[in-house]
Structure 1
Amino acid sequence: MKLLIVIPHYNHLTTLKSVVQRCLDQNPNVAVFDDGSDVSPAEILKGLPVTLVRFEKNRGKGAILQESAKWAAAHGFSHIVSIDADGQLDPAEYPLIAKAAEEHPHALIIGVRQFGPDAPKSSQFGRKFGGFWAHLQTGKTVNDIQSGYRCYPVEILNHIKCFSKRYAFEVEIAVRALWAGFPLVEVPVSVSYSKTRVSHFSKLKDNLRLTVLNTHLTVRSMLPIPHRQYFVDNAGQVEKRGYWEALVLNLKTPGNITKNALSAAWGIFCGAVALPGIRQLMLFGGAGWWNLNRILTISFEKFCIGPLVSALCIEVGFFLRYGRFLTEFNLTTLGRQFWQRVWEWVLGSCIVAPILALCAFLVVWSIGYLVNRGLCAREK
C-alpha cells in the first residue's frame, strides 16, 4: 500500500498552507489539486515538499478527485486520502484513516464527522437526509455520505463511472461502490466550524444537483437489473465479475439464501396485500431499505397479478364477516355490493398476504439450500 494525501483546492488560500503543513507532518506524499482558483497557490506553497497540479478552468470537486486518482495510479500510489482545504477537518487524524485502509485495503473509508454544538443545523440535517437516501438506495447504513475526509482505493475511482462532477460526486461514488460490492468502512473524525470558513457549496445549485442525483439513484435501485460487480482475485487485483459468475456466487453464499427467501416473501406480500398503488411504493421502498434481491422481489410480485389472489382474499374476507364462503356470483354480489367486496378484499388480504409470503419464504429458502449444497459438493 502506498497512500497519497490529496487536497482539492479552490480559493482557500488563507487556510491551504496550514492544511498542507499539517498533512506533511503525517505523510510526506501530499498533492494539491487546484481546481482553477482565481489565484494560483504556487506562491503560497513555495518551499514546501508538496506536488501541485493545477487546472486552469474550474471543473468541480468530483472531477478533481477522478483526475487525482489517475495521477496517483500513474505514480505508483494505491490509495488517495482526500481532505478539504478549508481547515474544517484535522490532518492529525490521518492515522485513523490510514489504519482503516490498511485493515480494509479494498474498502472506501469515510471519516464520519462528530458534530458539536457549533455545527450548522443545515450540515446536521444534510447528513441525516443523505443517510436516509443512501440506505434506501443500497440497504446499507452510511452515517456521513457527504464527508470530505475519505480514503479511496484508486481502483474504485478508476473502475466506477459517475456522471456527477461536483459535490454530488462524493454521494454518487459511495452508492455506486456499495452497489459494485466494495466494502464501506466508517471512522469517527472531529470537525470544527470557524465563522470565517469559506464554503463553495451552493444551496441552490448543489442541492438541486443532489436532488437530481438521488432521484436517479433511487430509480436505478428499483430496476431489476443487476449492478456491475467487482471482486478481488488471488493476486489481489480487482476484476469485473460476469453476470453468471455473480449469480453462482450469490447462490453459494449462505447468507444470501435467507436474503433471497425474504426477497421472494416480500414480493408475494406486496403483490397480495390490497393496497393498489401504495403496494408498489412498499415493494420498491422495502427492497431498497432492506437491500433485497430486486429481481426476485419483482418477479414474485408478478405471481399475484390476475384475479386468483384477489378472489382468494375476497373469499377469506367474506368468511371472516359471515362465517361462510361466497358462492353466488351475480349482478347483486359483484355489482351492487361492489364496495362490500372491496372491504372483504382488504380484510382478507391481511390474512392471505402473510400466509403466501411465509410459503414463498419456505419454498425459496429450501430451493436455495439445496442448490447451495449441490454447488459446494460439485466443487469438492
Structure 2
Amino acid sequence: MKEKEKPKIIVVIPVYNHGASLRQVVERALVAGWPVLVVDDGSDDDPLEQLTGLDCVKLRLPVNKGKGAAILAGAREAARLGYETMITLDGDGQHDPAEAELLARQAALIGRPAIVIGARRMIQETVPKASLFGRAFSNFWVRLESGQELADTQSGMRLYPLRELLALDLTCSRYDFEVEVLVRAAWAGVALSSVAISVHYPPPGKRITHFHQLRDNFRLTLLHTRLLLRRLAPWPHRRLCGQPAPPQEQKPRFPRPWRTMQMLFREHSSAPGLATAVWLGLFMGALPLIAVHTVAIIYVAHRLHLNKVAAVAASQFCMPPVVPIICIQVGYFLRNGQLLLDLSREKWLLEIHLRLWDWLLGSLVVGPLLGLIGAVLVYWAQTRLFRRQTMDKGPPQ
C-alpha cells in the first residue's frame, strides 16, 4: 500500500470492557502508520481514559448496544471524517495491527468494492475448541446463504468499504452482525475476500470474552433461518455494485451437451458440499411434493449453491412405495400412537387427505434422518477417496 493512500483508510477499534489491553493495541496501530478511531460501546471500565496522550479519535456510545452497532457507529464517524475505507480490529489484543497492511493490499488488488477478512491461523494450543467448531459451522451456513467459500466468517479483523457498508440494509447489532454483513454484502455485489493473519489467544484463565453461548447462539440461529429463507425467495436482491465483466470467450457454434453435463457434475463438488446436496435430496425426496419433486429440488439446490445432480440423484432413493409408506406409518404413529395396519380401501383411499397429512408429518422425521445417513456416507466416501488419491500421488518432489 502506497503511503499516500493510507489517509483514506482508518483503523476502527470497537471496545467493550477491554481497557487493560486497549492502549497497547492502539499504540501498535499508530506505530504501523494508521490513523485510529476507538469506539467505546458503553464500557464500565472507561477504556478511553487509558488512551491519554495518544493521537487517536475517540467516540463513546452512552449505553452498550453491541459490537455491530459499535462498528456501524465507527463507520459513520469515519465517513464523516472523510475516510473511504476502515479496517476493524478487536480491542483484546487478538490481532496484530501491523497486519492491517495485508488487508489493504488485498483490497487494492481486487480493484472494486470489497470486504477483506483476516482469516485467523488458529494453530495455537490455546485456541478454544468451541471457537474452531463455531468458525467451521458459521462458514458452512454463510456458504449456503451467499455462495462464497470463506475461510473465517467470524474474524473481527476486516476491511470494509464505507459507502457500501453504510448502504446495506442490516438488522443485527451484536455478534450476529459479522455474519449478516457478509451475506448481505455478497447479495449486493460487494466482493468478499480473505487473507491469512496471525492470532493471539491468551491462556483460558486470562481470556476475556463477551460472547454469551446461549443468547448469542440463539440470535445466530434466528439470523441463519432468516437469511436462508430469503435466499430461497425468488425475487432479486438490491445491488450496490455490478458484477465484474466475465472474460470474452468465443461462443461455440453448436451446443455441447457433454460439456454441460461435466460442469453440472463438477460444480460444488467438495466433500461438505456433496454431503449437503445429498441430505437435501433425501430430505426433499421424502416430502409429499407430488409431481414436483425434481423441479423443487433443482430450484433449492441452485439457490443454495449445491450440486444439483447429487441432490436429484439422492432423491430417487425416496421413490414410492417404500419411503412414502414409512413416512405415512411414522406420521400415523405420531398422531395416534400406533401403526396403521388396516389396509382397507376406506383407510387408504377415502381418507387420502389424512394419509397425505401423515406423509407430511412422517417426512419431517424420516427425511432428516435418511438425509443424515446419506450425507455421512457420501462425506466418508469423498474424504476416503481424497486421501487415497493423495497417497497415490506421493509426497511432492
TM-score by length of 1: 0.65
**182-191 vs 275-284, greater mean Cα deviation:** 275-284
SS at structure 2 position matched to 1:115: coil
Measured after TM superposition, the shift of residue 291 of structure 1 is 7.0
Cα distance in 2, alignment partners of residues 176 and 43 from structure 1: 36
Q: Give the C-alpha shift of residue 231 in structure 1.
A: 2.4
Question: Within 5 A, what are the aligned runs for 1:88-99?
Answer: 88-99=94-105
Structure 1 residue corresponding to 2:138, chosen from 108, 130, 133 = 130
Letter in 1 for 2:89: I
- Aligned twin of 1:225: 235
What is the distance in 1 between the residues matched to 2:232 and 2:169? 19
Contact 1:135 1:288 in 2 (8 A): no
Assess if the C-alpha contact under 8 Å between 1:136 and 1:285 holds in 2. no
Aligned residue number for residue 31 of structure 1: 37
| TM-fit CA distance, 1:254 | 9.7
Alignment correspondent of 1:346: none
Counterpart of 2:159 in structure 1: which amino acid? C
Aligned to 1:111: 118
Cα contact 2:9–2:34 (8 A) shared by 1? no
What does residue 198 of structure 2 align with? Answer: 190
Unaligned runs of 5+ in 2: 265-280, 313-319, 321-344, 350-397
Q: Which of 26, 42, 45 is the aligned partner of 1:20?
A: 26
Q: Summarize deviations over 1:252-301 as a string: whole Å, max 9, x none.
A: 9999x979x96xxxxxxx8xx965448488446522442799xxxxxxx9
Name the SS for the 2:241 alignment partner.
Answer: strand
Q: Conserved in 2, the CA contact under 8 Å of 1:80 and 1:152? A: yes
Q: Which residue of 2 aligns with 1:3?
A: 9
Gaps of 5+ in 1: 233-245, 263-269, 294-300, 302-309, 311-330, 336-380
AA partner of residue 53 (structure 1): L
Judged with a 3 Å threshold, the aligned counterparts in structure 2 of structure 1 residues 204 and 71 are, in CA distance, closer, same or farther, namely: same
**1:16-95 counterparts in 2 under 5 A?**
16-95=22-101
Instruction: Give, in angstroms, the shift of residue 71 of structure 1.
Output: 1.0
1:161 lines up with 2:169 in the alignment:
yes
Change (3 A) 1:13 1:292: same
Alignment match, 2:355: none
Q: Evaluate the alpha carbon distance shift between residue 73 and residue 253 of structure 1 in structure 2; reply closer, same or farther with a 3 A threshold.
A: farther
CA distance in 1, matches of 2:250, 2:180: 29
Aligned residues of 2:150 and 2:193 also touching (Cα < 8 A): no
Q: Which amino acid aligns with 1:207?
A: N
CA offsets per residue over residues 29-48 of structure 1, 9 Å max, x none?
Answer: 10100000113223210000
Worse-matched range after superposition: 59-68 or 101-110: 101-110
CA offset digits 1:96-150 (Å, max 9, x no partner)? 1111122235110000011113211100001110011011112221221111000
Secondary structure of the 1:42 match is: helix
What is the CA–CA distance in structure 2 between the aligned matches of 1:6 and 1:227, rounded to whole Å?
29
- Correspondence 1:287 to 2:302: yes
Moved more, 77-86 or 42-51: 42-51
For residues 254 and 107 of structure 1, the distance between their equivalents in structure 2, rounded to whole angstroms, comes to 30
Equivalent in the alignment of 1:203: 213
Please list the CA deviations of residues 283-324 of structure 1 after superposition, one character each: whole Å capped at 9, or x if unmatched. Answer: 46522442799xxxxxxx9xxxxxxxx9xxxxxxxxxxxxxx
Q: Provide the C-alpha distance between the structure 2 equivalents of 1:53 and 1:72, rounded to a whole number of angstroms.
A: 11
Shift of 1:225: 1.1
Looking at structure 1, the residues matched to 177 and 81 of structure 2 have their Cα atoms a distance apart, in angstroms, of: 24
CA contact (8 A) 2:40 2:48 kept: no
Amino acid at match of 1:286: A
- 2: CA distance, partners of 1:275 / 1:204: 32
Structure 2: which amino acid aligns with 1:202? H
After TM superposition, the score normalised by the length of structure 2 is: 0.63
Question: Could you tell me how far apart the structure 2 residues matched to 1:228 and 1:74 are?
Answer: 25
Task: After TM superposition, list the pairs within 5 Å mapping 1:145-160 onto structure 2.
Answer: 145-160=153-168
Alignment of 1:313-332 (within 5 A): none
Instruction: Write the distance in 1 (CA, Å) between the matches of 2:136 and 2:93.
Output: 23
Task: Answer yes or no: is 1:171 the counterpart of 2:186.
Answer: no
Partner Cα distance (1:274, 1:161) in 2: 35
Mapped to 2, the partners of 1:222 and 1:87 lie a distance apart of 39
C-alpha displacement of 1:190: 0.9
The percent of aligned pairs where both chains have the same amino acid is: 39
Shift of 1:156: 2.2
- 1:356-367 mapped onto 2 (5 Å cutoff): none
Is the alpha carbon distance of 1:277 and 1:138 closer, same or farther for their aligned partners in structure 2, counting shifts above 3 Å?
A: farther
Runs of 4 or more consecutive aligned structure 1 residues displaced over 3 Å after TM superposition: 252-255, 273-285
Distance, in Å, in 2 between the alignment partners of 1:181 and 1:142 is 16
Residues 130, 277 of structure 1: CA spacing in aligned structure 2 closer, same or farther, 3 A cutoff?
Answer: farther
How far apart, CA to CA, are the structure 2 residues paired with 1:283 and 1:133?
19
